[in-house]
């Protein structure tokens, strides 16, 4: 079966920078094993970073910006997931995407406005759910657990990066065009420090200043247009870095490079404040207000005090990102007659029987009678769960007067993918569209995996109860 299509709507060139492009590529590398990726962008976008790593792209026609969602509907598979990364994808644009029945993921830096997307990703450290206004259905994926950085930085063995007793090399990069030439202002101060023997400078593609070239020093190494491996090598062999709070700073954190960190544009503030609150960087504040003649003092203070300013990162962003997108690939439908064999096999799986109050193996004869009875009962709400259009589980609601009892089963081959919680969320939402009765979940006390799944899905503890001689928890979920 063909992979589900993921469309990445992003722009980038020497004028606006390539940061959103590279973030889209990093996300694509995480998703490509399970999804079919295609970038959609304006004709003035620099596409070489996309083609260099083998992803497909399409150019948009010359149409008004807010007409793009309609064009996507006319030209893109309706089952596609749309990802938008850029400051222009406002609440109005997002709503138009949703009105056209697409699933939407928005990659954000600013936490402004009301988010309409199904998923919002903001990888800034320290960002909180309370920073956002969003729809009830929106899932927020926040912090370094969802870092959209290149895979080699995620896979880097951080234990191998140890702080040298002698701090002699520094990495400097202000990305993009660096309009105020903070690169030059930084470098002329670093040169004054005898202890620093090597200054590794990476310039953005739009950097046009000339004063840097006038500096005569054997300490300076200037780099442009580096490959991912080359960038990793230069960063990881530097003893510390002076950078703004961008995605580059997150990559540096993932490879244990200490940072003297500042900011100079609005979208860097959340990352900056997050790192500062975690005491994970040496703070330089707003570069726009910085007296660069004091920078050498900052560097000497960092060197002499040997401040422990690294962040402890235990994240697995690729796994977390894949879980997010798997959730978008879940569908729920009413059970059909031809589901009989799937439900039978699922019900007889060893773990399903173990977690059931009646753990005896089910015969097909008894199952057939029970199943056919379910199809004609009005008391039952019986759903089949599908991932990538293939069944992986079932959810049933049995109405008991003033409440309903929920039962869920997930196929063994689909366990461990994080599907249970989202399946419970989606199925209870579907139930509450028809019924107002609270939902009770009876769970054996030994089944803590299920307890955690139900709690994450919004169920709260109600009481302890003995069910058929088994000590159990009862959790409940009410309609909002």
Listing DSSP states for 186-250 in one string gives HHHHHTT-TT--EEEEE--TT----GGGG---TTEEEE-S--HHHHHHHHHTSSEEEEESSHHHH
Kindly report the CATH number that applies to the domain delimited by 152-305: 3.40.50.2000
Quickly state the pLDDT bin for 375 (edges 50, 70, 90): confident
Quickly state the pLDDT bin for 157 (edges 50, 70, 90): confident
Is residue 284 within 8 Å of 240, Cβ to Cβ? no
Distance between CA 273 and CA 281 in Å, rounded? 10
Q: Let me know if the fold of 4-107 is the same as that of 152-305.
A: yes
**pLDDT tens per residue, range 170-202:** 999 998 789 999 999 999 999 999 999 999 999
* Residue 307 scores a pLDDT above 60: no
**pLDDT tens per residue, range 196-221:** 999 999 998 788 899 998 998 999 99
Is residue 410 within 8 Å of 393, Cβ to Cβ? yes
CA 364 to chain CA centroid, nearest Å: 43
Distance between CA 81 and CA 34 in Å, rounded? 13
For the sheet with 139-142, list strands across it.
Answer: 56-59, 35-41, 4-10, 81-85, 103-107, 119-122, 139-142
**pLDDT tens per residue, range 350-365:** 999 988 988 899 999 9
Position 136 scores a pLDDT of: 75
Q: 145 burial class (0-12, 13-18, 19+ CB within 10 angstroms)?
A: middle
For the record, the structure tokens of 477 come out as 């979920």
Position 288 scores a pLDDT of: 97
Quickly state the pLDDT bin for 331 (edges 50, 70, 90): confident
Percentage of residues in the chain having pLDDT higher than 90:
73
For the sheet with 390-399, list strands across it.
Answer: 330-334, 380-387, 390-399, 404-410, 439-444, 470-477, 460-467
Distance between CA 149 and CA 143 in Å, rounded? 12
- pTM metric for this prediction: 0.77
φ/ψ of 206, rounded to 5, equals: -105, 10
In this structure, CATH architecture of domain 4-107: 3-Layer(aba) Sandwich (3.40)
Please say whether the structural domain 329-477 has been given the CATH code 3.40.630.30. yes
Pairing relation of β-strands 81-85 and 103-107? Answer: parallel
Q: Which residues pair with 474 in a beta bridge?
A: 442, 463
By mean pLDDT, which of 62-66, 144-148, 306-310, 453-457 is the weakest? 306-310
Position 55 scores a pLDDT of: 96
Q: What's 12's DSSP letter?
A: -
Distance between CA 350 and CA 303 in Å, rounded? 59
φ/ψ of 36, rounded to 5, equals: -95, 115
| Per-domain residue ranges of the chain | 4-107, 152-305, 329-477
């Amino acid at each position: 079966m063909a992979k589900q299509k993921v469309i990445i709507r992003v722009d980038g060139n020497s004028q606006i920078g390539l940061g959103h492009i590279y973030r889209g590529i990093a996300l694509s590398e995480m998703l490509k094993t399970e999804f079919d990726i295609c970038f959609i962008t304006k004709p003035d976008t620099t596409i070489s970073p996309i083609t260099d790593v083998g992803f497909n792209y399409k150019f948009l026609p010359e149409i008004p910006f807010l007409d793009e969602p309609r064009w996507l509907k006319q030209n893109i598979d309706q089952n596609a997931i749309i990802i938008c990364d850029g400051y222009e994808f406002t609440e109005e644009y997002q709503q138009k995407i949703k009105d056209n029945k697409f699933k939407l993921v928005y990659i954000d830096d600013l936490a402004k406005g009301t988010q309409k997307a199904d998923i919002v990703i903001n990888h800034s450290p320290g960002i909180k759910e309370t920073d956002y206004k969003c729809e009830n259905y929106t899932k927020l994926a926040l912090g370094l657990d969802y870092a959209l950085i290149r895979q080699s930085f995620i896979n880097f063995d951080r234990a191998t990066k140890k702080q040298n007793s002698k701090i002699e090399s520094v990495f400097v990069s202000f990305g993009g065009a660096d309009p105020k030439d903070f690169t030059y202002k930084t470098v002329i101060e670093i040169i004054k420090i005898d202890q620093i023997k090597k200054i590794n400078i990476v310039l953005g593609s739009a950097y046009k200043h000339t004063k840097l070239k006038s500096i005569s020093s054997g300490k300076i190494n200037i780099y442009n247009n580096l490959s991912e491996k080359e960038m990793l090598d230069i960063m990881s062999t530097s003893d510390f870095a002076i950078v703004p709070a961008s995605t580059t700073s997150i990559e540096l954190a993932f490879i244990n490079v200490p940072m003297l960190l500042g900011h100079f544009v609005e979208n860097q503030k959340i990352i900056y404040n997050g790192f500062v609150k975690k005491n994970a960087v040496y703070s330089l504040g707003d570069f726009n207000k910085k007296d660069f003649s004091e920078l050498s003092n900052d560097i000497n203070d960092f060197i002499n005090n040997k401040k422990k300013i690294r962040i402890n990162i235990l994240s697995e962003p690729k796994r977390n990102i894949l879980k997010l997108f798997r959730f978008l690939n879940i569908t729920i439908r009413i059970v059909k007659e031809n589901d009989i064999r799937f439900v039978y096999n699922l019900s007889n799986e060893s773990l399903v029987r173990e977690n059931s109050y009646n753990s005896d193996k089910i015969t097909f004869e008894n199952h057939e009678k029970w199943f056919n009875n379910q199809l004609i009962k009005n008391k039952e709400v019986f759903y089949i769960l599908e991932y990538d259009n293939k069944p992986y589980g079932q959810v049933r609601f049995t109405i008991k007067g003033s409440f309903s009892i929920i039962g869920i089963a997930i196929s063994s081959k689909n366990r461990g993918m994080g599907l249970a919680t989202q399946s419970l969320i989606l199925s209870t939402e579907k139930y509450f569209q028809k019924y107002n009765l609270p939902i009770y979940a009876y769970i054996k006390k030994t089944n803590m995996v299920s307890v955690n799944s139900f709690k994450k899905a919004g169920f709260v503890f109600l009481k302890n109860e003995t069910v058929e001689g088994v000590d159990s928890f009862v959790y409940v979920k009410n309609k909002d």
